Structure 1
């Protein structure tokens, strides 16, 4: 696990802490910026799990994290986990029943990995009173992938209620700040809060340019079109290619 730190000495005041899943895409970029603006301590968690993780996605999350460190001192660390053996994301459509890119129970696993770090933070820091694992699921995601419907988070929260942190009065829960938002609304929100959308990467391909053929490329283009905004990522392609 690689850890990049931005830890400062803070007043010993009880406060909330968040572990945010950062993929390098639009949604996680916006969700992370929202959390940072709440003035709580924020920790970023990125997880590599594919047989060939995209260099563009890794570059994107690196640039997003660096931007957050520079602009928000309450963003403390960016940890990157590589799952040995990997899970394969690249599903094929099976009789029209399995969508492209279906991620094999991925989000549930990622939320619990985030909870592992969160509980560690809560139990080792007296000034952390409660915490959240933040995942940037959108309304469209819940429609496109059946395994990340809202009731899933209810069940994950049920698991978190059984953890030791609760015995010390420190509540853990999953937070889905974008779950009622369509993708174009997330884009508009990102522009409003000045999230670094220019550094994000959405394509399933290896780059250096988006393939413009996968579902993610289509959804991204459609979101910016509906939001009436030019995609800022196309204005700074060299940043992603060289990061």
Structure 2
């Protein structure tokens, strides 16, 4: 199955790239610059493409991202600390982001006679992000079948859609994903902050998976406090 992987440079999408390279025919990695707070992740996606021996495509969506206001990922709004499943993390939603990115990836895949576009949406995203839920991915797949009817047959591949982040770490480890060469932190400092939702979720996932976490965090113990606070909410 010839497959394009949408790759942000994060733990999930780079794990997906390595798994896809092992199980299918990885053709390319696709990333997007939508004016996010930092582009640090993209450098990791470029490195992954080089290591996997496939092309990397970076699409400039900054004019579109500038219009999708109100998110801590694109505007001058503080990224909240805490667990990913807290209501405060809703400020990180960029409206319709996945639908826009996947539409472009599908066009690219169709133009190159590929079979699938893979994206690393997972079960931990469901609480906050509507365009990561099965209802969205299934509907999007049907929509693209109609959009490309008679021209190409490209499927949406979402192997993690009902998986946990810990599941992804487990699978990524089995396929030799270089976790130290992935980036999760929304704050984009020199090292992972350890406090934002993506850092907390990342740290927790390694713990639950029983896999050694190679990540250096500015606040390596905050995740325990965040998880305890979530339990008491």
Where on the TM-score scale, by shorter chain, does this alignment land: which range? 0.7 to 0.9
* TM-score normalised to structure 1 length: 0.76
- Asked whether 1:32 is paired with 2:17, we answer yes
C-alpha distance in structure 2 between counterparts of 1:161 and 1:67, whole Å? 32
Q: Distance in 2 between matches of 1:98 and 1:51?
A: 16
Match of 1:156 in 2: 140
Structure 2: 5+ residue stretches without partners: 81-86, 218-233
Pick the aligned partner of 1:110 from 101, 104, 112. 101
Q: CA deviation at 1:53?
A: 2.8
Is the 2:191–2:216 Cα contact (8 Å) retained in structure 1?
A: no
Counterpart for residue 46 of structure 1: 31
2:95 pairs with 1:99: no
Equivalent residues in 2 for 1:3-42, closer than 5 Å: 16-42=1-27
Deviations 1:168-203 (A, max 9, x none): 5x4212110111211011111111111121200000
Write the distance in 2 (CA, Å) between the matches of 1:39 and 1:32: 10
Hey, which of these two has a bigger chunk of strand by percent?
1
Q: 1:145 to 1:25 in 2, by over 3 A?
A: same
Offset of residue 85 of structure 1: 1.9
How many angstroms apart in 1 are the aligned matches of 2:31 and 2:184? Answer: 15
Query: What is the match of residue 225 of structure 1?
Result: 207
Tell whether the 8 Å contact from 2:8 to 2:32 is kept in structure 1 after alignment. yes
Change (3 A) 1:41 1:183: closer
Kept in 2, the 8 Å contact 1:199–1:233? The answer is no
Structure 1 gaps, min length 5: 1-15, 70-75, 123-129, 236-243
Question: Do residues 195 (structure 1) and 177 (structure 2) align?
Answer: yes
Runs of 4+ that moved beyond 4 A: none
Residues 138 and 181 of structure 1 are in contact (CA less than 8 Å); yes or no, is this contact kept in structure 2? yes
Give the alignment's Cα RMSD to 1 decimal: 2.2
Match for residue 198 of structure 2 among 216, 223, 243: 216
Asked if 1 retains the 8 angstrom alpha-carbon contact of 2:118 and 2:156, the reply is yes
Cα shift at 1:230:
2.2
Aligned residue number for residue 120 of structure 2? 136
C-alpha distance after superposition, 1:73-102 (max 9, x if no partner): xxx311111113252541668xx5871311
TM-score normalized with structure 2 length: 0.79
Residue 44 of structure 1: how far off its partner (Å): 0.8
- Alignment match of 1:77 (pick from 50, 55, 63): 55
Number of residue pairs matched?
202
